[in-house]
Structure 1
C-alpha cells in the first residue's frame, strides 16, 4: 500500500517525482540538484550576464574546502532546496507564507541524504554573505554595494549552464571521494 503524501509532486530533471511539501531523503538526487541549480540565475536574473546558483555554490565550496570536507559539502549544497523551490530573492522570502518551512523541510531531507548536520555551519553563512562582494561585478552599480567591502576574492566566471552543472558534479564527487577516504 502506498503512503499518502502531503501536497502534490513535481517532475524533476531525472524524470522522478519529488514532493516539495513532503520531501524524503531517498528522493533527493545530486543530478537533479546540479541540473536545476545550473539553470537558475542568481539575483532573479537581474545580472549583467547569466550567473547560476550552481556556479555560486561551487565557488563557496571550493573557497571553504580547507575548512573541512563537510563544511565544503554544506557550502556546495547550501542552496539545494532551491532546486525544488526555486531561488527566491532575499527581500521576497519573508513575505511568502510557508516558504521558510518548506525550505527547512527540503534542506533537512538534503542533509539526511548526504550525511550533513542540519544546521548550516557559520563559515558557510559568512561566506554566503561575503561572496556578494565578489558578485557585484555582475550587477549594475548601486549605493548598497558599499556595505559588501569584504569579498571572498573568488573570480565569477558566468559559466554556461552545462559547465556549471559539470563543475558542480565534479566538486560533489571530489568531496564525497575525500569523505570516503577519511580525508578531512
Structure 2
C-alpha cells in the first residue's frame, strides 16, 4: 500500500508527486494528459463539460510554431494543483506560491522557458474569450480585460475526457522534441483509447 506524506499527490500512473519539493518529483506526460482531460474549465460552471486538456490544445494551435509545445503545457501544473478559478486563486497567496513552484519544476522537466512568452498569454486570453462566448451562458460584463482579445472565429465543440486526452497526447507527440536540458520523456506505453 502506498504511503502518503502530507504534501504528496497520487498520480494516475500510481506515482506520488511532492508539492513542496516538486523539482525532486517525477510525473509523466500521461499523468498530465489524463488529469487535464478530467478537469473541467471554469470550475465546472460551463454549459457542458469542457476540459483543461482541450483548452491547452486550442492555445497551442493559436501561437506560432516555435511556441506551440510550450503553449500546450502552459497549464500543466493544474494536473497537480487543480484548475482553481482566478477570483479564488487571487485570494489564496499560499496556493499561488505552490502553483508557481510546481509550474517552474514542470517547465524545467519538459525544457520550457519560464516564464512563458507573452504571445502564449495573449493566445490564452483569446481562447478564454472564445470559451466564454461558446461555453458559458453569457460573457461577464466586468471582464473588460478580454475586450482587446478577439475570440477565435471557429466555434468550440467540447470533447469528452477520453477524446480530449487522446487529442492532447497526439499534439504532444507531434510537438515534443528533446531539448538540451530536458530529460528524455518517452511515451510511457501510451496508446490511444
**Alignment partner of 1:125 is 2:142:** no
Deviation at 1:28, TM superposition (A): 2.3
* 1:127 and 1:152 in contact (8 A); partners too: no
Deviation at 1:155, TM superposition (A): 3.2
**Count of paired positions:** 172
Distance 2:137 2:96 in 1: 29
Cα pair distance change 1:26/1:35, threshold 3 Å: same
Deviation at 1:132, TM superposition (A): 1.8
Please provide the CA RMSD for this pair.
2.2
Cα pair distance change 1:145/1:154, threshold 3 Å: farther
TM-score, length of structure 2 as denominator length? 0.82
How far does the alpha carbon of each residue in 1:72-116 deviate from its partner, in whole angstroms, 9 at most, with x for none? 111111111110000000111111131111111111111111111
3-state SS in 1 of match to 2:90:
helix
Distance 1:78 1:24 in 2: 17
Within 5 Å, give how 1:96-115 maps onto structure 2: 96-115=92-111
Distance 2:138 2:61 in 1: 27
3-state SS in 2 of match to 1:24:
helix
3-state SS in 2 of match to 1:153:
coil
Who is 2:172 aligned against? 172
Within 5 Å, give how 1:61-80 maps onto structure 2: 61-64=60-63, 67-69=64-66, 71-80=67-76
After the TM superposition, which parts of structure 1 deviate over 4 Å for at least 4 consecutive aligned residues? 177-180
Structure 1: unaligned runs, 5 residues or longer: 1-5
Distance 2:167 2:24 in 1: 23
Who is 1:50 aligned against? 49
- For 2:138, which of 141, 157, 161 is the aligned residue? 141
